[in-house]
């Protein structure tokens, strides 16, 4: 019987831990965890993301600050706002919603966020800490951190002797995911569009993580029987059966056929997706604990 991971359920348990840790920190040291979210322009999808992040921050008991800037905002104005937030001791996490409208350049903005406040885990300092195995002082990018919670809850903390394959090598997901698996002692292969015999490489994996952005690319014959399959893809495809012009969401894994082979699998939607905001809250409360000199909670 295949286990389908309920991402909403796991995310809810992470949020519960965040709430308890937030309350305990406030009680023990008088520190209220603070998260600042910056959004530029009027992209509706970005605004929807940001309002759900701000809402969740309030629910967790954080001081939640949102800065909404017009699309015409200049690079130096945005940089000045980040500098102000860096200097504000009541703010422990800073999130700049991407993508930024043109002609703004996101990279220098992201890199200007203090690494200890970089709750999105996107700074080169945090990437470097992860690469060198420093999980004690670094912050990990939210989506791979969330996917790793699933892996740990399935296989435990130590992945010694397990082969893991990550399909996708993006800086946002593929590379940090591979580092997390490596830090947990898995034997890790990073595969991608240029990999020869990709299906054969995947069949070797006890843990298979797909993050390529190609709808239902991973088929049943790519998967080792009994493997754990984590699907990070979110693709919108036509769904004529629902009516003209209708679409539906699918992952990078052909869910129906792969769930007949895998022992554990994440669905799309409802798998890794809900974990991203939960891990953002987790990173923020971890950052607040570190600033207060307290031991942060484990997720």
* Cα angle for residues 281, 296, 38 (degrees, 5° grid): 30
Phi, psi of 293 (to 5 degrees): 75, 25
Q: Out of 19, 27, 42, 53, which one is annotated catalytic? A: 53
Residue 120: active-site member: yes
Q: Out of 118, 120, 231, 252, which one is annotated catalytic? A: 120
- Cβ contacts of residue 19 below 8 Å, gap of 6+? 59, 60, 61
Instruction: Specify the pairing of strand 163-167 against strand 187-191.
Output: parallel
Provide the β-strand partners of residue 26. none
Residue 115 CA to chain centroid, in angstroms? 17
Residue 70 tokens read as: 């017009």
243 labeled binding residue: no
For residue 214, the 8-state DSSP code is -
Respond yes or no on whether the N-terminal peptide bond of residue 288 is cis (omega within 30° of 0): no
Q: Compute the distance between CA of residue 179 and CA of residue 182 in angstroms, rounded to an integer.
A: 5
141 labeled binding residue: no
Q: Out of 6, 16, 58, 97, which one is annotated catalytic? A: 97
Residue 88: active-site member: no
169 labeled binding residue: yes
Residue 221: active-site member: no
For residue 178, give the nearest of 156, 210, 154 by alpha carbon. Answer: 210
The annotated binding site for NADP(+) is made up of 168-170, 234
Which sequence positions are flagged as catalytic? Answer: 53, 97, 120
């Amino acid at each position: 019987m295949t286990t389908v991971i309920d991402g909403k359920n796991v995310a809810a348990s992470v949020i519960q831990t965040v709430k308890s840790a937030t309350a305990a920190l406030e009680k023990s040291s008088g520190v209220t965890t603070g998260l600042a979210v910056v959004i530029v322009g009027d992209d509706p999808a970005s605004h929807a993301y940001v309002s759900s992040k701000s809402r969740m921050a309030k629910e967790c008991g954080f001081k939640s600050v949102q800065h909404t800037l017009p699309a015409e905002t200049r690079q130096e104005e945005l940089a000045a706002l980040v500098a102000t937030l860096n200097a504000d001791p009541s703010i422990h996490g800073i999130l700049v919603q991407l993508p930024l409208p043109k002609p703004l350049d996101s990279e220098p903005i992201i890199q200007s966020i203090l690494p200890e406040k970089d709750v999105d885990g996107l700074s080169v300092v945090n990437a470097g800490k992860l690469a060198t195995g420093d999980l004690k002082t670094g912050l990990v990018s939210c989506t791979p951190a969330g996917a790793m919670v699933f892996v740990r809850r399935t296989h435990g903390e130590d992945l010694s002797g397990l082969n893991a394959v990550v399909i996708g090598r993006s800086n946002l997901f593929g590379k940090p995911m591979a580092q997390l698996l490596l830090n947990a002692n898995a034997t890790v292969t990073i595969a991608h569009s240029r990999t020869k015999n990709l299906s054969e490489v995947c069949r070797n994996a006890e843990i298979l993580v797909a993050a390529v952005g190609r709808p239902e690319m991973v088929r049943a014959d790519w998967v080792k029987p009994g493997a754990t399959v984590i699907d990070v893809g979110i693709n919108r495809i036509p769904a004529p059966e629902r009516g003209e012009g209708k679409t539906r969401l699918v992952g990078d894994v052909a869910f129906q056929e792969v769930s007949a082979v895998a022992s554990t699998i994440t669905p799309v939607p409802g798998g890794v997706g809900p974990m991203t905001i939960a891990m953002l809250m987790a990173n923020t409360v971890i950052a607040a604990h570190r600033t207060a000199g307290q031991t942060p909670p484990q997720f």
